């Protein structure tokens, strides 16, 4: 882009356009596009040519490489999400809504890493050291050997880190950091990008692990964590419903481990406590058998998690019936409703449909299709499914129920929690259920016939 052309950048997703518009084409957010000065274009004139750089050292794929050493903090829920511990020289982004508990989580992690012998520096750009210290006292972590600083100037931070050489630095948050070479306000896309880039490359050069916090923002005043996702090795999101005490740490990208791994925590008066058995917790609030309630046996990362799917179907007073979901994709709900309508002749026209995953959990697995369909049918027919039965299976547009991965671990978890029956896909490799009675379904129509007596 020529030097003088104006440059407009979306503060949420970082899309660049040459003219301003009210809505970003990249992410669909409104009022997030602002004009920015272009980034430096480098000193050289003309194209990069041969003879200008240094020769690189090339190696082949079979060069021996030891797996990276991992340092664990002892909070299993966090260590697992990191891929089995912290890797030296890696950059990690922890995103989440303001107030969800990111600072609390990272202060607890800092203390645990420090107690395990790591040299940890916690840099807060949002709170004064006294505030961080007060939180540490509240969490009874004030004796942990974590070193604190309240600073926003990245140059000063990197100079200090270079002298101190810690094992881990935590920067809370990347949006408050300020790089003096970049001529725009802290929190803008240019600043956040530059700060994250400087910090990441510094961490890699020095072998220091860096964890940075990024607030998810809706109003576009400051850049969201998405603009730095591609720079870091690991992206974790800390999510949860404000009204619920459960918090889920989810890895959406991990160069050193499995993505989609989750860690479950509960926010208490004394900070975050680990929830080693989330299934029991998600099912704890389940009452007597009720229409519209179905237990789905899911897999999150490497771990089976059982959760309750609730549906409510009611005649709609509106000409356009409502379709509302919490914790499940709205498009996927429409698809299942369409399949029920087209393949099983069960119409939902004129009916409001509400679908909710209990406990603040968010499910993205297609394996939950059959459980969602079961909840919808059960709510529509006002007939409860057997209370001690789990359901899983993917539904295709043809109405077939398709096998899903890791059926064995799903059943094992169900057995552990005392379930005695499972409604599962027909095809695929499926073990005998043992003490769990398996009901195998080849199609959604068969399911409707068997469970609800031909609808
Ligand atoms: P915080 O970690 O400051 O959130 P973030 O850094 O993501 O903005 O957490 C803020 C909320 O957590 C605050 O509303 C109070 C609550 N909280 C507790 O419930 N218990 C605790 O022990 C602590 C430290 C915070
Ligand atoms: Mg915070």
Ligand number nearest CA of 173 is 2
138 lines ligand 1 (CB under 6 A): yes
Q: Which atom of ligand 1 is nearest to the CA of 102?
A: 7
DSSP letter assigned to residue 443:
B
28: pLDDT strictly greater than 80: yes
* Separation of alpha carbons 24 and 37, rounded Å: 18
Q: What is the mean pLDDT of the chain?
A: 88
Other Cβ atoms within 10 Å of 427 Cβ, number: 12
More confident residue, 452 or 420: 420
For the segment 308-359, what is each residue's pLDDT rounded down to a tens digit?
A: 999 999 999 999 999 999 999 999 999 999 999 999 999 999 999 999 998 8
- Quick one: pLDDT band at residue 434, thresholds 50, 70, 90? confident
Band of the pLDDT at 66, cuts 50, 70, 90? confident
Query: Rounded distance, CA 302 to CA 261, Å?
Result: 6
As a whole number of angstroms, the distance between CA 125 and CA 109 comes to: 18
Contact between 36 and 49 (Cβ < 8 Å): no
Closest CA to 166 of 198, 111, 119: 119
Q: Which pLDDT belongs to residue 68?
A: 77
Whether 242 is in the pocket of ligand 1, judged by its Cβ within 6 Å, is no
Confidence of residue 265 (pLDDT cuts 50, 70, 90): very high
Cα(432) to centroid of ligand 2, in Å? 49
Kindly give the distance from the C-alpha atom of residue 127 to the centroid of ligand 2, in angstroms, as a whole number: 8
pLDDT band at 1 (very low <50, low <70, confident <90, very high): very low
Q: What's the pLDDT score for residue 38?
A: 62
- Quick one: tokens of 236? 């974790």
Cβ 244 under 6 angstroms from ligand 1 = no
Contact 146, 132 (CB under 8 A): no
Q: Which whole number is the average pLDDT over 428-433? A: 69
- Tokens of residue 313, six digits: 């179907």
Answer yes or no: is pLDDT of 191 > 60: yes
| pLDDT of amino acid 231 | 92
**What is the distance in A from the centroid of ligand 2 to the CA of 174?**
11
Count of CA atoms in the C-beta half-sphere (13 A) of 134: 5
Q: What would the pLDDT profile of 132-162 be if each residue is shown by its tens digit? A: 999 999 999 989 999 999 999 999 999 999 9
- How far is it, in rounded angstroms, from Cα 442 to Cα 380? 22
Q: What is the pLDDT of residue 41?
A: 55
Q: Which of 328, 287, 299, 331 is nearest to 311 (CA)?
A: 328
Q: Is 90 in the pocket of ligand 1 (CB under 6 A)?
A: no
Q: Would the CB of 132 count as within 6 Å of ligand 1?
A: no
Please identify which residue in the block is written with the tokens 């909070």: 75
Atom of ligand 1 nearest to the CA of 126: 6
């Amino acid at each position: 882009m020529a030097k003088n052309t104006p440059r407009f950048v979306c503060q949420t997703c970082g899309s660049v356009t040459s003219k301003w518009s009210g809505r970003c084409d990249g992410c669909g957010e409104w009022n997030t596009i602002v004009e920015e000065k272009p980034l430096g274009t480098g000193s050289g004139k003309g194209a990069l040519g041969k003879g200008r750089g240094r020769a690189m050292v090339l190696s082949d794929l079979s060069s021996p490489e030891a797996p990276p050493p991992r340092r664990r903090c002892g909070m299993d829920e966090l260590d697992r999400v990191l891929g089995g511990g912290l890797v030296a020289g890696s950059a990690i982004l922890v995103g989440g809504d303001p107030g969800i508990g990111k600072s609390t989580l990272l202060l607890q992690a800092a203390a645990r890493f420090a107690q395990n012998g790591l040299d940890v520096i916690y840099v807060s750009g949002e709170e004064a050291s006294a505030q961080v210290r007060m939180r540490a006292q509240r969490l009874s972590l004030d004796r942990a050997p974590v070193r604190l600083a309240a600073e926003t100037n990245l140059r000063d931070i990197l100079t200090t880190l270079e002298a101190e050489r810690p094992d881990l630095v935590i920067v809370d948050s990347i949006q408050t950091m300020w790089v003096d070479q970049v001529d725009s306000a802290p929190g803008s896309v240019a600043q956040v990008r530059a700060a994250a880039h400087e910090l990441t490359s510094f961490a890699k050069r020095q072998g220091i692990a860096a964890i940075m916090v990024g607030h998810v923002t809706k109003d576009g005043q400051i850049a969201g964590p998405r603009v730095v996702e591609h720079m870091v090795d690991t992206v974790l999101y800390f999510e949860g419903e404000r009204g619920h005490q459960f918090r889920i740490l989810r890895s959406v990208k991990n160069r050193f481990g499995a993505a989609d791994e989750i860690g479950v925590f509960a926010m208490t008066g004394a900070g975050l406590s680990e929830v080693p058995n989330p299934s029991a917790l998600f099912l704890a609030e389940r009452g007597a058998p009720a229409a519209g309630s179905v237990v789905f046996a899911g897999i999150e990362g490497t771990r089976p998690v059982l959760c309750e799917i609730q549906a409510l179907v009611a005649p709609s007073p509106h000409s356009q019936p409502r379709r509302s979901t919490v914790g499940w994709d709205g498009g996927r709900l429409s698809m299942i409703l369409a399949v029920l309508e087209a393949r099983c002749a069960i119409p939902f026209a004129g009916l409001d449909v509400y679908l909710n995953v209990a406990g603040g959990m968010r499910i993205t697995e297609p394996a939950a299709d059959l459980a969602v369909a079961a909840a919808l049918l059960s709510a529509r027919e006002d007939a409860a499914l057997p209370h001690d039965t789990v359901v899983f299976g993917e539904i295709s547009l043809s109405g077939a129920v398709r096998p899903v991965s890791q059926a064995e671990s799903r059943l094992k978890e169900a057995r552990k929690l005392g379930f005695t029956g499972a409604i599962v896909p027909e095809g695929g490799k499926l073990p005998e259920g043992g003490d769990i009675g398996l009901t195998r379904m080849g199609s959604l129509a068969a399911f409707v016939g068997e469970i609800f007596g031909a609808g």
